[in-house]
Amino acid sequence: MEENTVINQVVEQIKAQFKDDSSGHDWFHIDRVRRTAKKIATIEQADVYVTELGALLHDIADHKFVENPDEAALTSTAQILSALNVPQKTIEAVQHIVLNCSFKGGVEANKMKSLEGKIVQDADKLDAIGAIGIARTFAFGGKFGAILFDPNIGPMDHKDLASYQKNRSHTINHFHEKLLKLKDLMHTKTAQKMALKRHQFMEDYLIEFHHEWNAEIN
Ligand code: ADP
Ligand code: NI
């Protein structure tokens, strides 16, 4: 099967699977990650086909949605791609990406080895910052019952969704807990450059947020 046809088939499956998500992992998140990853892959001279497949499948076994993410990453990827007669070598390269994207061990435990996988992770992180990142963060907060901000609640580090749901939090917390740290975690030079502008936009946004919160006049 031609690479283009494989991509189109995978797009249809992923679109159907993610169309109803409102936690920030909807089809358009996947599509943005895919388009950003393709651009980075071209500049970084990576394998664009493997990168695109990895981006399309990167959230199919997220630890937030499936019980056994490692197993789901390997089996779901193999199932989808072997049904489309994708060569074994390509399947393994994509499995490596999906497996390491679903991992919940945090940054220290990051075992992503391939350039294509690092690019997908970079594109995923880029989608969590900047204007889109801000929107996703408040959408996520709203879905899980957090308020916008409460100056009386101190900083919190949530290890997982359960701790997030148990401990009353506010969404501005997530900027400090995670989003403002992402620009320093990009693997590729291209993503580092893209992250700078998005990071600055969040810094400016937070200044403005607190400015308005404090009823400052100018
Ligand atoms: P990934 O895209 O790698 O799966 P996450 O699941 O951590 O990343 O985050 C998905 C989106 O949800 C991101 O935009 C992120 O900012 C947002 N999000 C995750 N955790 C929180 C939280 N505790 N509060 C607000 N937004 C969150
Ligand atoms: Ni993602």
Q: What is the mean pLDDT of residues 162-173?
A: 81
Max mean pLDDT range (19-23, 32-36, 100-104): 32-36
Domains of the chain: 1-105 (1.10.472.50), 128-218 (1.20.58.1910)
The helix/strand/coil state of 205 is: helix
Q: What is the mean pLDDT of residues 86-99?
A: 97
Report residue 21's pLDDT band, with 50, 70 and 90 as the boundaries: confident
Residue nearest to atom 7 of ligand 1 (CA): 128
Helix, strand, coil percentages, rounded to 5, for the chain: 65, 0, 35
**What single-letter amino acid sits at 140?**
F
Å from CA of 120 to ligand 1 middle:
16
Cα 38 from Cα 111, distance rounded (Å): 21
Would you mind telling me the total number of residues written for the chain in this entry? 218
State if residue 36 touches ligand 1 by the CB under 6 angstroms criterion.
Answer: no
What pLDDT does residue 40 have? 98
Which has the higher per-residue pLDDT, 111 or 50? 50
State if residue 54 touches ligand 1 by the CB under 6 angstroms criterion.
Answer: no
Q: Report which DSSP code applies to 23.
A: S
What pLDDT does residue 104 have? 63
* Residue-by-residue DSSP string for 97-135: HHHHHH--S-GGG----SHHHHHHHHHHHHTTSHHHHHH
Is pLDDT at 24 greater than 90 in this prediction? no
Q: Report which DSSP code applies to 147.
A: B
